[in-house]
Amino acid sequence: MRLVDPAAAKRVAVLSDIHGNAWALAAVLADVDRRGADLVYDLGDTLYGPLDPAWTFRMLIDRDVIGVLGNEDRLLLDPPADAATRPALRHALAALDDVALEWLGARPAVRREGELLLCHGSPRRDTEYLLERVEAGAIVLRSRDEIAVLLGEGTAPMVLCGHSHVPRVVSLDDGRVVVNAGSVGLPAYDDDYPPHAMEAGSPHARYALLERGASGWSVLHVAVPYECDTAARTAERVGRPDWARWLRTGRAAWPAATRGGEHG
């Protein structure tokens, strides 16, 4: 049970796209503790990946971390017919027990916590980039009007999202602020639906720290170093050398050959 009411929280840590990277998560949680966050939220794509989803789950449940469901978490709950041919999915399914999957399945797609709205992609679709669009392979920041349309009416003053793995803060004309927390566990990836790449540029584990002040919420994007080579070697053993490259460098290789869109 949480000891802090969301409406009273002064400092909030926002995590997203952990992708089973327990080494990155451990480093982030240590940094969160050092900075004294009252609450920790997770925006999904939490356990899917060729790393250590079971350890990731144990750390999150021990901390009573509140979260929402990501699009690649849904693959764990309803695996596609070709799951056995997908190394990351096969590995994660083998590592997770029924307790972990039940915990994951109990998460909503969207969650309101006081002044904060939590979602993975956008409030309407977990596969939708809220702050970016893809144009001929390039990543373009959406206009404020576009973002407002995707958000719709009735959302919170502060909207928290992930999915693109790129840390951002965007203000809208009506005063709402949208924060992408970046990715704890996967700093880059290639995708081919449509073809594009997302890159943070370094292997750091990233999260956002929100602090409530007299003028509203301030946002600090934090990049935490960790033993990324351990995670990369694990991905290589599972059969995902592309993941290993992303983890070590924070860079993607697109437009070179990708893995059929399965970045997770």
Non-local (6+) Cβ contacts of 127 within 8 A are 71, 121, 163
Q: What's residue 263's pLDDT?
A: 60
Q: What's residue 4's pLDDT?
A: 74
Q: What's residue 258's pLDDT?
A: 45
Q: What's residue 3's pLDDT?
A: 57
- Helix/strand/coil (H, E, C) string of 74-113? HHHHCCCCCHHHCHHHHHHHHHCCHHHHHHHHCCCCEEEE
Q: What's residue 209's pLDDT?
A: 98
Low-confidence ranges of the chain (pLDDT < 50): 1, 256-261, 264
Rg, the chain, Cα only: 17
DSSP letter assigned to residue 180: E
Q: What's residue 99's pLDDT?
A: 98
CATH code 3.60.21.10 for 13-249: yes
